[in-house]
Structure 1
Amino acid sequence: MNLIGRQQLRRQVLVGDATKLFKRSFWTWLNSVFNIVDHERIKEVGPDRAAAEWLLRCGAAVRFKSFDKWHKDYNHLPTGPPDRLYIEAIDGTDSCIYSRGFDYLDGLQYVLWLRFHRCMYLSDTCLERLATIDSMVASLQHLEVKSCGNVTNRGISALHTLRNLQSLILFDLPGIKNQGMLVQTLNKSLPSCTITLDPGC
């Protein structure tokens, strides 16, 4: 390859790298915007409706108490008095939720089921925050954390406060080490919980 060809190739590589960096920065910024907590909105429509709006903005799905269907479309959330709309289940699969928005979960008193699957922004900080939300500690019965690369033993260990948890599924978590000791610790704190751990963790 001659000098001109090498220079052209180098320019293409630099432009490609700059484009990737811009896209990554843009999506990081956008996700950050989606996760900003609007406390005025919570006061206006109640914690469940505000949390549902946040979750759907971030690509998650919710199921309300007394509803059979999952809601995934922000524009088709059910209407009605805030005191009659309660989130019962959250599916965060492929969503961009992260710790900054977890204040939206504060006050949700009826969440029984929660899934984090391929959540690239989910971290130990998120799980630690979840484990300190009184309403979630009291209600949550089923939790799945799957294919979330930023979760380590620290985040999973924090779940020991979820006293009503009956089922905990952990799968494809490369950050988990010493799984036997981790399960033993959780079993002591959560004797009524069935813990399913992927051997590959």
Structure 2
Amino acid sequence: MRLLSLAVQRAGLLQSCGSRRHFWGWLNAVFNKVDHERIKAVGPDRAAAEWLLRCGAKVRFQGFERWHHDYNGLPTGPLGRYKIQGIDATESCIMYRGFDHLDGLKYVEDIKLNKCICIEDACLERLSSIQNLQESVYMMEVISCGNVTDKGVIALHKLRNLEYLFLSDLPGIKDKETTVGRLKTALPRLDVVVDLD
């Protein structure tokens, strides 16, 4: 009887953990929802900054050294004045469904994806397909993103001005030499630093 009681308690605990996990997944999806009306109203840089900060990332605006991480502390002023130059998504919940926020950004030079549990190949493919980012991004880090494989990293070859790429702790990368070789062939100026062992 006691054993049955423990099993019932444990099942309730597991159900509770599953509900909690489901709740956070739902909340992350809400945070990543694209509001096209908001983008039209405040411009792509402001809307993207709001999305990134809402998801726990940081942004650096053109002409500023300081990283902004407080949603309520975003600078105000004339629309279009603040242009995103850097994105640090370390430990954030950004996911594929929110990447449409990046469409209108023209000045992003560096992107850090570090310990982003929702980042997967589709995210890197989407990011690489955005024409403005293909021209502006020259530095990128992808670290400890367990859902990224060779396919996602190879997609970064579309970032034509990419000069520096740091890859670390990516267990989904199975053929490091071929992946790096394909990137270097497509982007001869690219300096790839790999720490996957």
Q: Name the TM-score class by shorter chain.
A: over 0.9
| SS of corresponding position for 1:11 | helix
Q: 1:177 aligns with which of 170, 174, 178?
A: 174
What does the per-residue CA deviation read over 1:59-91, in whole Å, with 9 as the maximum and x for residues that have no partner?
Answer: 000010111211101000000112211000000
Asked whether the equivalents of residues 138 and 162 of structure 1 are also in contact (C-alpha less than 8 Å), the reply is yes
What CA distance in whole angstroms lies between the structure 2 residues aligned with 1:18 and 1:88?
A: 43
Asked whether the equivalents of residues 48 and 82 of structure 1 are also in contact (C-alpha less than 8 Å), the reply is no
For this pair of structures, how many residues does the alignment match?
197
Q: 1:102 aligns with which of 83, 99, 104?
A: 99
Structure 1 vs Structure 2 CA RMSD:
0.7
What CA distance in whole angstroms lies between the structure 1 residues aligned with 2:143 and 2:121?
A: 13
What CA distance in whole angstroms lies between the structure 2 residues aligned with 1:152 and 1:95?
A: 19
Q: 2:29 aligns with which of 29, 32, 39?
A: 32
What CA distance in whole angstroms lies between the structure 1 residues aligned with 2:183 and 2:141?
A: 15
Q: One-letter code of the match for 2:29?
A: S
Q: 1:55 aligns with which of 52, 55, 63?
A: 52
Asked whether the equivalents of residues 124 and 154 of structure 1 are also in contact (C-alpha less than 8 Å), the reply is yes
Q: Which deviates the most, 6-15 or 166-175?
A: 6-15
| SS of corresponding position for 2:47 | helix
TM score, norm. by length of structure 1:
0.97
Pair 1:74-2:60 in alignment:
no
Q: One-letter code of the match for 2:89?
A: G
Matched with 1:156 is: 153
| SS of corresponding position for 2:124 | helix
What CA distance in whole angstroms lies between the structure 2 residues aligned with 1:183 and 1:66?
A: 33
Give ranges in structure 2 of 5+ residues lacking alignment: none
Deviation (angstroms), 1:180: 0.6
What CA distance in whole angstroms lies between the structure 2 residues aligned with 1:197 and 1:48?
A: 31
| SS of corresponding position for 1:54 | helix
What percent of counterpart residues are identical? 53
Q: One-letter code of the match for 2:25?
A: T
Give ranges in structure 1 of 5+ residues lacking alignment: none
What CA distance in whole angstroms lies between the structure 2 residues aligned with 1:167 and 1:158?
A: 15
Matched with 1:189 is: 186
What CA distance in whole angstroms lies between the structure 2 residues aligned with 1:27 and 1:143?
A: 27
Structure 1 residues 179 and 172: CA distance shift in structure 2, 3 A:
same
Matched with 1:22 is: 19
Deviation (angstroms), 1:10: 0.5
Runs in 1 of length 4+ with deviation above 6 angstroms?
none
